[in-house]
């Protein structure tokens, strides 16, 4: 049994709270175990300069961890964004753009903001999974108000971590597992099971192709469950 008594192929408890704050067009609190992230989607009726006149929209993301989200205080980004946060927000942006028809979105930008209020591993994967729900709500609002005639979202997207911890292949690592895993991998996939991104590292020693395929299979199983939970949350009134 694992640290929190889960089976190796089990996700942590997952919860989506939609309309978590009032101002953004989409706002979701996603909880995966003890990791909690506020994901918002805000529509801006303009695009970056490189897209002006292109009749194409843009989806971009920002990511941060608030000072009280970790055991020791996390400093605010008053001196500029750190490398880790920059890498994660680019991942979130890529993941969401891959499922959006930017032409159908028109010349507008959807800003995705992911703010970690409590971190216990898997903050980037929770951010992507929650951000999709926020994006869906924001786009639905545009459709409801006839700002958009066609839904630009082509499919869903979710993400999960997998790893090898004490020689066991496990799903959805908490912080203690992640910090000691000798292989750490993050998977981003569509609702149809297509891969968007694979981030995998042998932290202490190399891993085999057979282990990689085992990790991919386990991650796909977890993402299928997350996809179903996203759909369930979006179907609720």
Decide if pLDDT at 5 tops 80.
yes
Computed from CA positions of residues 43, 49, 55, 59, in that sequence, does the dihedral angle turn out positive or negative?
negative
For the ranges 28-32, 51-55, 69-73, 80-84, the one whose mean pLDDT is highest: 28-32
Helix%, strand%, coil% for the chain, nearest 5 = 35, 30, 35
Decide if pLDDT at 113 tops 70.
yes
As annotated, the binding site for phosphate includes: 84, 122-124
% residues pLDDT > 70 (the chain) = 98
According to the model, what pLDDT value does residue 181 have? 93
φ/ψ region of 177 (left if φ > 0, alpha if ψ in -120 to 50, else beta) reads: alpha
- pLDDT one-digit tens code per residue, 193-237: 999 999 999 988 899 999 999 999 999 999 999 999 999 999 987
pTM, 2 dp = 0.95
% residues pLDDT > 90 (the chain) = 86
Domains of the chain: 14-235 (3.30.230.70)
Q: What is the mean pLDDT of residues 184-193?
A: 96
Decide if pLDDT at 147 tops 80.
yes
Rounded Cα distance, 43 and 196, in Å: 24
Computed from CA positions of residues 117, 121, 124, 129, in that sequence, does the dihedral angle turn out positive or negative?
negative
- Residue 14 bridge partners (DSSP): 32
Q: How many residues does the chain have?
A: 237
61-65, 76-80, 203-207 — which is least confidently predicted? Answer: 76-80
């Amino acid at each position: 049994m694992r640290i929190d008594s889960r089976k190796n192929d089990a996700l942590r408890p997952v919860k989506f709270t939609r309309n978590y704050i009032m101002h953004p067009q989409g706002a979701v609190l996603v909880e995966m175990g003890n990791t909690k992230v506020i994901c918002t989607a805000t529509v801006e009726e303009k695009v970056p300069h490189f897209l002006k006149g292109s009749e194409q929209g843009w989806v971009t993301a920002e990511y941060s961890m608030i000072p009280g989200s970790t055991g020791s205080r996390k400093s605010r980004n008053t001196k500029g964004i750190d490398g880790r946060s920059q890498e994660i927000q680019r991942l979130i942006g890529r993941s969401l753009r891959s499922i959006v028809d930017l032409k159908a979105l028109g010349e507008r930008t959807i800003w995705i903001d992911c703010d970690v209020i409590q971190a216990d591993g898997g903050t980037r994967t929770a951010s992507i999974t929650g951000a999709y729900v926020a994006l869906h709500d924001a786009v639905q609002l545009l459709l409801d108000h006839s700002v958009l005639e066609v839904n630009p979202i082509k499919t869903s997207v979710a993400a999960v971590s997998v790893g090898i911890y004490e020689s066991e292949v496990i799903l959805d690592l908490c912080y203690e597992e992640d910090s000691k895993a000798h292989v750490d991998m993050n998977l981003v996939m569509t609702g149809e099971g297509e891969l968007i991104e694979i981030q995998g590292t042998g932290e202490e020693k190399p891993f085999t192709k057979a282990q990689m395929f085992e990790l991919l299979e386990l991650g796909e199983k977890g993402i299928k469950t997350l996809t179903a939970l996203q759909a369930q949350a979006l179907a609720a009134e």
